[in-house]
Amino acid sequence: MKAGTLVKLTRSSIGIPMGSVAIITRAIQPGNEYADVLCEIRLIGGKCNGRNVRFLGRDLEIIK
């Protein structure tokens, strides 16, 4: 995953429904090889439009 990738959320959070669409603004790969990538995303559409949040890479699905 890299910045500019369009994704769909596979996990809900407080105020953010599952299935929301977002774009990755920054992906942080930790030094530990077993840790998952942390993605800073900007939500698109809905009442959370424009909100910046962080999700783990395993909670995101790439939209082709």
Report the alpha-carbon distance of residue 9 to residue 59 in Å, rounded.
6
Q: Give the type of residue at 36.
A: D
Instruction: Say what the pTM is.
Output: 0.86
Structural domain of residue 16, as residue ranges?
6-62
* Position 36 in a domain: yes
- Over its length of 64 residues, how does the chain's per-residue pLDDT go in tens digits? 899 999 999 999 999 999 999 999 999 998 887 888 999 999 998 888 999 999 999 999 999 8
Q: Which of 2, 51, 36, 38 lies closest to 21, judged by CA?
A: 51
* Position 1 in a domain: no
Report the alpha-carbon distance of residue 3 to residue 20 in Å, rounded.
17
* Position 34 in a domain: yes
* Position 39 in a domain: yes
* Domain count for the chain: 1
CA angle 55, 17, 63 (to 5 degrees): 65
* Position 30 in a domain: yes
* Position 47 in a domain: yes
